[in-house]
Amino acid sequence: MQEQTLPPNRKTVSIVIPALNEEEGIAGTIDAIATEQFGQFGYGHEIIVVDNGSTDRTAELAQDAGARVVYEPQRGYGSALKAGFRAATGDFIATLDADLTYPAQEIPRLVCLLEEKELDFISTNRLLSFSPGAFSARNLLGNRLLSLVAGVVFRLPFKDSQSGMWIFRQDILEKMVLRSDGMALSEEIKVEAAFWAKLRCSEVPISYEARAGKVKLRAYMDGLENLLFLFRKRFWR
């Protein structure tokens, strides 16, 4: 079991993981976080799993692995993440999915990069290096299309507008207007950071793995909703 480490005299990192019925991947996701490196780099850390109404052992396994579990009854990826942001106490926030897709071990390095480059927000690009089975052909096409539209409409510096792994300074949340309670939060937070709030942003390539457990993405419905959300966001913040 990993201990939450929040020394008062250090900058701290809150890792927020939204989860809905992710018992296949949640413990492995938490275990993959390179907790010893936070201390080596001079950071404290906490791991927050937001249980979004799971009916399996997700919350129990997360607690056993050392995470603090927050419960968010309103279903939705965006609802869960925003609940995690409200619960976070760190100077920096990092996000992950609970299905072993993102390289959790990279978080300490990316927090250091954020500080070294004096950035406010780092997103990650999964589209350059992904394992077989990580994307279906349909989902890969949809990701590229949504990223192209977001880039054109908002002139974003991100090639992967749908990536769910970000590292950012906690205090920039007060500059953002995050309305989406669903999957569109992935693109909305990038639009807010780079376009509306005009923060110092960057994107770094990461590896991306096939998920553990059942796929919950509604490919056509979520894709269409995200596309429409981009246009609404352009004219209504």
98-113 pLDDT, tens digit each: 999 999 999 999 999 9
Angle, helix 219-235 to helix 137-154, in steps of 10 degrees: 0
- In this prediction, residue 228 carries a pLDDT of 95
State the pLDDT at residue 223.
Answer: 86
Strand partners, 117: none
Q: How far is CA 73 from CA 52, 54, 55, 70, 79, in A?
A: 6, 9, 12, 10, 9
Cα–Cα distance for residue pair 174/229, rounded to 1 Å: 21
How many other C-beta atoms lie within 10 A of the C-beta of residue 6? 14
What is the percent of the chain with per-residue pLDDT over 70, rounded to a whole number?
95
Identify the pLDDT of residue 219: 67
198-224 pLDDT, tens digit per residue, is: 999 999 999 999 999 777 667 668 889
Question: What structural domains and CATH numbers belong to the chain?
Answer: 12-235 (3.90.550.10)
Give how far Cα 169 sits from Cα of 35, 61, 90, 92, 222, Å: 19, 28, 9, 4, 28
pLDDT tens, residue by residue, 28-54: 999 999 999 999 999 999 999 999 999
pLDDT at 27 over 90: yes
Evaluate if residue 2 carries a pLDDT over 80: no
Q: What are the tens digits of pLDDT across the range 147-181?
A: 999 999 999 999 999 999 999 999 999 999 999 99
Distance of alpha carbon 166 from alpha carbon 16, whole angstroms: 10
Q: Is 178 exposed, middle or buried (0-12, 13-18, 19+ CB in 10 A)?
A: middle
Q: Rounded to an integer, what distance in angstroms lies between the CA atom of residue 29 and that of residue 100? A: 5
Query: Which letter, b or e, does each residue of 150-160 get, where b requires 16 or more Cβ atoms within 10 Å of its Cβ?
Result: beeebebebbb
